[in-house]
Amino acid sequence: MPVTPVLPVPTSSPPDVWGATINTAINAVAAAANANETAVAGKADAAATTTALAGKAPTTRTVTAGTGLTGGGDLTADRTVALTAGAQTSLALADTAVQPARTITAGTGLTGGGTLAADRTLAVTYGTTAGTAAQGNDLRLTGGHDFSAVGVLQVSAAASGRKYNNTGGTRTLTLVQVSVGTAPAGSGVTVDVRKGGTTILTTPVTIPAGQQYATATPTVTAWAAGEYLEIWITAVGSTTPGSDLTGEVVYQ
């Protein structure tokens, strides 16, 4: 706070030399005090400014765009940092990418699978039971023993030779079906199927006169590995024999 002199300097005669001297001294002290107060206030302002500046970044400080970014620069102006075109493309792909928690499940007849956190392998489960895949020698596969007799039919034993079961297991005989190119007249064409010389049919399969096709269901159904089947033609038609016989013994 400014200091005010307590005694004014006399302006009238006779001069008071001693009083003037005192007033001059007091005025000098007051001036010095005022100057000191101004200096102190200035130092306080400077200290506050220094403290405020200490928390500020210099304009030479830089913002650098790292991998996948563009822009940046020093702080002499506003700066913008943005994704590069490549980074934006990668993000777009990531939006549609399959997450590693997604799973591949092995369904019936398969093994393997799992999450996409690692490579996965699916494999076929082969076997002879339900839920497994059949291979070429699987007994569940349906097959057939084809036979034929070309031309006008004649009564004959083992007309088409022997057919052996070489599948490695017992098969189940399910159906006998026969047909002729020319239908018999007068009576029918009769065919018997024999396993090891013994019929597998209760009644041989017969194509009636005037007909060209017939079927029969075996009553002996087991066909063991190594056993053989034979086709016997036991009747061909009493008036006009049938011709060009073809047939099949179906098995599982």
Q: Where are the domains of the chain?
A: 1-47, 96-133, 143-251
Q: What is the pTM of this model?
A: 0.48
pLDDT of residue 72: 86
- Rounded to whole angstroms, the Cα distance separating 98 from 116 reads 8
pLDDT of residue 11: 53
Residue numbers of the chain with a pLDDT score lower than 50:
3, 7
pLDDT of residue 201: 94
* Strands 81-83 and 103-105, sheet pairing: unpaired
| Tens digits of residue pLDDT in 7-20 | 455 555 555 555 56
pLDDT of residue 193: 93
pLDDT of residue 140: 58
| CB of 180 closer than 8 Å to CB of 235 | no
pLDDT of residue 212: 95
pLDDT of residue 36: 59
pLDDT of residue 154: 92
Fold assignment, 143-251: Jelly Rolls (2.60.120)
